[in-house]
Structure 1
Amino acid sequence: MKRAARPPENGSRIIVVVGAQWGDEGKGKIVDLLAERFDIVVRYQGGHNAGHSVQIGSRSYVLHLLPSGIVHPDKTCVLGNGMVIDPQAFFEEAERLRAQGLKVTPERVLVSSRAHLILPYHRVLDHTSEERLGNERVGTTLRGIGPAYEDKAGRRGIRTADALNPEVLRARIERNLEDANRIIVAYGRQAMSADQVFEETWRAVQHLAPFVTDTTAFLNRAAREGRSILLEGAQATLLDVDHGTYPFVTSSSTTAGGACIGSGLAPHRITGVLGIVRTYTTRVGEGPFPTEMVGEEMAIGNLIRERGREYGASTGRPRRCGWFDAFATRYAAEINGFTTIALTKLDVLDALDKIKVCIGYRLDGRELDSFPAVAQDLRRVEPIYTTLPGWQTSTLGVTNWEELPERARQYIAFLEDEVGVPIGLISTGPERNQTIITRDSALASWLGA
């Protein structure tokens, strides 16, 4: 349940937004909704493998690197030190957003000098890694994120600050390509030229340079001044490199704890954590998925996929669909310390006459009391379900709790009880105004509602 937060320094609100499932929970809309009431919006981990969608009227903005706050012209957006950044992808996204009328300039977009770069050879290594794993492949987006994080952990990565010095950049590219080319050539690909990689990277870095600054110093100064900060995670808890369904995970720390690591803000500064969950569950790529709708339930999964437009914003890949997993969400709530929860895509379930919720796992005849650490065990678990009646009437665009069908309210209350965290927001459609905010929630106070 909700816990009292440490009093903010100088009245500063610093809120972390975290996905509680396997990603694609609708963080883009929620961050966009919150961003109006915050001064600074920060992405603290991941790369352009993330895909956040923001719908405003007839316009849709798809964001991969930039925080969702970019659609608000008066907000400062920060790409934190925990990210890995492909300079070319950054500028492609910036140009696309500029064409949609958004302002993407060094005055309002800050890139951490400590963030690591994704270089051309990282993308090639991502392909060879998946080829090497075969049937055990992770199902990455093949954009070089994993290999860039591997170089970071191996202390051979190239940060934006390092790349601003051409001599340092060239020396590190030459050193790293010696090892990278051994793998690249072993998989039948042509060795990459250090000169070509350097020239391509140096051109991009020169364009990136005006955006680069010490974002850790900037954020801590802003906190001391009492400015409000919204920390936006990519992917989600069950894809966290430490706490997710390893090895079918991303390469960074996606949890609330990762927000401190990836931004440089101390833990005591965090004043609240918002968990985002769907009314059902999806997963992209490989990996165990206990509540996936397969076999006789595949038709329901296909219906949800079409109603929810469950296709990756980054890749276009169809998402695997499953029932809400309260057991896994309780695990996510415990790890992150959720203050409150935002529940998205209620309207997608409008067509169902019966809705199942997983309330526990059984493995080898024994009911589990904790989330399995081993992926193979998670593949074998038997979900324990409770079935609730559907409401079979439209909830699209509903903005008041009292206007929801009684069975929809019962479903939401059941999820709240099972997860053990109050639900402060219910999304009933993709647009900002298609939202219910409960008046007595922590989220209402963050918004000043």
Structure 2
Amino acid sequence: MPIKVVLGAQWAQYAVRLAYQRIAAMLTISSPSFFSELKQLEEKGLPNVYDRILVSDRVHINFDLHAAVDGLEEIELGELFESKLRRLAHGYKARYGDLLKYDVEEEIERFRGYRTELAKYAIDGLSFMYSAQTSNMNIIIEGANAVMLDLSMGSYPYVTSSNTAISGIIAGLTLNPKAITETIGVVKAYTTRVGAGAFKTEDLEEYCHPITTQLENRGRLTMWATESEQNSRRWAENGEHPQAENVAVAGSVCQHLALVSVSKLVDAYLDFIDLVVVKHGHMVNYYTALNLTKLDVLDSFETIKIAIAYKDKSTGQELDYYPADHNILDNAEVVYHEMPGWNKPTINARTYDELPKQAQDYIEYIEKFIGVKVKWIGTGPDREAMITRN
């Protein structure tokens, strides 16, 4: 059966709504979190949870010890990069203390119970996927991270621990590459990045960035907030959260803002679209079509800037690719192409002809630069706010 793959073309959080039923072989699973989330699904009334959630028998199990060590590594890397050294000593003391109290036998005993329960969900993933691909089953593939966080082809070392590009999907799910008929790259109409690493289009001279302002005005900065996230935001605003010091909160009009996730506060950056990044993703994934999301966020701009190259500050040489060498990247400035904005609402537009001419020009410039057709255009937060082009 033909397979269609949908991939994020920039960094994370690329506004795709998908469903997923099989946890693939190359993933690591946290048993406590897995069962906690299953319980939440059951409490919300999801029927037949045991029959609908499947786990490959080739996944790796994550113990509490792994999480403790990962937490220490995040403290060492993340806080050093963010110059929060004054809190480092206290953090190490607290976390090393917890690690030294770690009881191996207690955790092994607890995981014996998890092993029995987890067996209900485990399947031979290889046979399952082969059967799915040789029968008339619909296959939807979901991943949390986009191509620039790919371990091999992303902005290393500021990446995740796995391959998030199409190569990871083929290997992790044992897909038949010949059966992939369409590879869709999802591109935000502007660029965002969470965490450390280069973000070349970030304008440090502007404290309040207009894209952040537009998101706030439209109520889009808080649309992801769950009850748990709202609690974290309240803690940060009141200075109660242990990680709240010197962290901006979603909803404030700052370029360097924080999107509050369920588990922690993370720094996020926003700016105009970087087509060097999108082109890099295309060279990795070979997109057959693009889905441009959040076009309506740009509705109120007089001028829209598009990053089309990087230029070495010393030599003036232009780079039309995303360099792996961070010394080159750090010494480069952005070359922009400017286009007139449309200053008209595009939100909830349903046809391409409804878009202002300047918005169409913007879309077609992206198409020409990347060499891939934009087949879908997101024009708002609603599911129906989507333009489909033939």
TM-score range, shorter chain: 0.7 to 0.9
Cα gap change, 1:354/1:185 in structure 2, threshold over 3 Å: closer, same or farther?
Answer: closer
Equivalent position of 2:340 in the other structure: 389
Match of 1:237 among 147, 153, 159: 147
SS in 1 for 2:266: coil
Q: What is the Cα deviation at residue 108 of structure 1? A: 1.6
Q: What is the Cα deviation at residue 297 of structure 1? A: 6.2
Looking at structure 1, the residues matched to 32 and 300 of structure 2 have their Cα atoms a distance apart, in angstroms, of 42
Q: What is the Cα deviation at residue 186 of structure 1? A: 10
Cα gap change, 1:13/1:289 in structure 2, threshold over 3 Å: closer, same or farther?
Answer: same
Q: Is the Cα–Cα contact under 8 Å of residues 130 and 138 in structure 1 kept in the other structure?
A: no
Q: What is the Cα deviation at residue 237 of structure 1? A: 0.6
1:252 equivalent in alignment to 2:127 = no
For structure 1, list consecutive stretches of 5 or more residues without a partner in the other structure: 1-11, 32-67, 70-76, 140-182, 441-449
For structure 2, list consecutive stretches of 5 or more residues without a partner in the other structure: 84-91, 223-258
Looking at structure 2, the residues matched to 348 and 367 of structure 1 have their Cα atoms a distance apart, in angstroms, of 30
Q: What is the Cα deviation at residue 105 of structure 1? A: 1.5
Q: What is the Cα deviation at residue 270 of structure 1? A: 2.0
Which amino acid is the alignment partner of residue 352 of structure 1?
Answer: F
Looking at structure 2, the residues matched to 337 and 127 of structure 1 have their Cα atoms a distance apart, in angstroms, of 35
Residues 146-205 of structure 1, C-alpha deviations (whole Å, 9 max, x = no match): xxxxxxxxxxxxxxxxxxxxxxxxxxxxxxxxxxxxx99994542421112212323233
Residues 52-80 of structure 1, C-alpha deviations (whole Å, 9 max, x = no match): xxxxxxxxxxxxxxxx25xxxxxxx1111
Equivalent position of 1:274 in the other structure: 184
Match of 1:287 among 188, 193, 197: 197
Which amino acid is the alignment partner of residue 355 of structure 1?
Answer: I
Residues 302-329 of structure 1, C-alpha deviations (whole Å, 9 max, x = no match): 3145244273554453521011011111
Equivalent position of 2:124 in the other structure: 214
Equivalent position of 1:336 in the other structure: 285
Which amino acid is the alignment partner of residue 335 of structure 1?
Answer: V
1:21-420 correspondence runs (5 A): 21-28=10-17, 31=18, 68-69=19-20, 77-103=21-47, 105-133=49-77, 187-188=96-97, 189-296=99-206, 298-306=208-216, 307=218, 308-309=220-221, 311=259, 313-314=261-262, 315=264, 317-363=266-312, 364=314, 365-420=316-371
Cα gap change, 1:85/1:138 in structure 2, threshold over 3 Å: closer, same or farther?
Answer: farther
Looking at structure 2, the residues matched to 295 and 305 of structure 1 have their Cα atoms a distance apart, in angstroms, of 20
Cα gap change, 1:325/1:312 in structure 2, threshold over 3 Å: closer, same or farther?
Answer: farther
Residues 223-271 of structure 1, C-alpha deviations (whole Å, 9 max, x = no match): 1113232222221111101011111100000001110111122322322
Looking at structure 1, the residues matched to 81 and 56 of structure 2 have their Cα atoms a distance apart, in angstroms, of 31
> What TM-score does the superposition give when structure 2 sets the normalisation length?
0.81
Residues 108-146 of structure 1, C-alpha deviations (whole Å, 9 max, x = no match): 21111101122101111112112333655599xxxxxxx
Which amino acid is the alignment partner of residue 137 of structure 2?
Answer: R
Looking at structure 1, the residues matched to 293 and 12 of structure 2 have their Cα atoms a distance apart, in angstroms, of 12
Residues 390-417 of structure 1, C-alpha deviations (whole Å, 9 max, x = no match): 2222222111111112211111111111
Looking at structure 1, the residues matched to 290 and 55 of structure 2 have their Cα atoms a distance apart, in angstroms, of 29
Which amino acid is the alignment partner of residue 430 of structure 1?
Answer: P
**Comparing 91-100 and 268-277, the one that deviates more:** 91-100
**Comparing 128-137 and 184-193, the one that deviates more:** 184-193
Q: Is the Cα–Cα contact under 8 Å of residues 308 and 320 in structure 2 kept in the other structure?
A: no
Equivalent position of 1:17 in the other structure: 6
Q: Is the Cα–Cα contact under 8 Å of residues 78 and 196 in structure 2 kept in the other structure?
A: no
1:406-445 correspondence runs (5 A): 406-438=357-389, 440=390
SS in 1 for 2:212: helix
Q: How many pairs align? A: 340
Which amino acid is the alignment partner of residue 279 of structure 2?
Answer: R
SS in 1 for 2:192: strand
> What TM-score does the superposition give when structure 1 sets the normalisation length?
0.71
Residues 9-52 of structure 1, C-alpha deviations (whole Å, 9 max, x = no match): xxx12122111101111122xx3xxxxxxxxxxxxxxxxxxxxx
Cα gap change, 1:299/1:212 in structure 2, threshold over 3 Å: closer, same or farther?
Answer: same
Q: Is the Cα–Cα contact under 8 Å of residues 15 and 273 in structure 1 kept in the other structure?
A: yes
Looking at structure 2, the residues matched to 85 and 417 of structure 1 have their Cα atoms a distance apart, in angstroms, of 41
Cα gap change, 1:131/1:312 in structure 2, threshold over 3 Å: closer, same or farther?
Answer: closer
Greater RCO (Cα-Cα under 8 Å, separation 6 or more): 1
Q: What is the Cα deviation at residue 214 of structure 1? A: 1.1
Q: Is the Cα–Cα contact under 8 Å of residues 276 and 320 in structure 2 kept in the other structure?
A: no
Looking at structure 1, the residues matched to 160 and 289 of structure 2 have their Cα atoms a distance apart, in angstroms, of 25
SS in 2 for 1:411: helix
Looking at structure 2, the residues matched to 409 and 271 of structure 1 have their Cα atoms a distance apart, in angstroms, of 27
